[in-house]
Amino acid sequence: MSKLKAPWQKMENDALLNSLQTSFPDAACAIGSDWPEIDIDGSDLLTLIQKLRYDEQWTFDYLFCETCVDWKTHFTMVYHLSSTKHRHSVVLKAKLDHDKPQIESLVGFYKTADMLEREVYDLMGIEFLNHPDLRRLLLTEDWVGYPLRKDYEDPINMIRL
């Protein structure tokens, strides 16, 4: 009954993966759990997004999720992009340095990135370069530390189960 992966989805993913691999031979593309994934270098982000956003064959115009994962040794920024025209989706992953995490902001391409990046900055401490208004969003301005990091300690407010 509940199809874990619909056949049309697989075909679509394979075709998308093919076109990505031909266009970006240097990037590591693979099929993830749901959609094709591209592992990129943080410095290539803007050139890649420029192509994915405006090239007619992809038109990834909808950034539906942007988040970050703390892997203790490094951070991974994860971008979920979708196209309202072709209805396909792709996942971008950029590895960031743990000591000084920095990456270019996507506000110029997607306006939703404004608040999403402020949230990631607030809770993970990733610095977004060229973000127009990078300040804390959910927590107060004088909060110390970044709560979603794995090494964050708060003896008063944290509940351990």
Cβ contacts of residue 67 below 8 Å, gap of 6+? 77, 78, 116, 120
Nearest one of 140, 118, 116 to 127, comparing CA atoms: 118
Judged by CB under 8 A, does residue 15 bind another protein? no
Residues composing the chain: 161
d(CA 144, CA 134) in angstroms, rounded, equals 16
Please identify, among the stretches 18-26, 40-48, 97-105, 133-141, the one whose residues bind another protein according to the rule CB under 8 A.
133-141
Query: Under the criterion CB under 8 A, does residue 145 sit at the interface with another protein?
Result: no
Is 100 or 160 the residue whose CB approaches another protein more closely?
160
Which of 22, 100, 144, 159: binder of another protein (CB under 8 A)? 159
Among 25, 26, 33, 132, binds another protein (CB under 8 A): 33
How wide is the angle at C-alpha 31 spanned by C-alphas 96 and 76, nearest 5°?
10
For residue 22, the surrounding DSSP H or E stretch is helix 7-23
Is residue 115 a contact residue for another protein (CB under 8 A)? Answer: yes
Q: Which residues bind another protein (CB under 8 A)?
A: 1-2, 4, 32-35, 61-65, 67, 69-70, 78, 80, 84, 87, 110-112, 114-116, 119, 123, 137-140, 147-148, 159-161
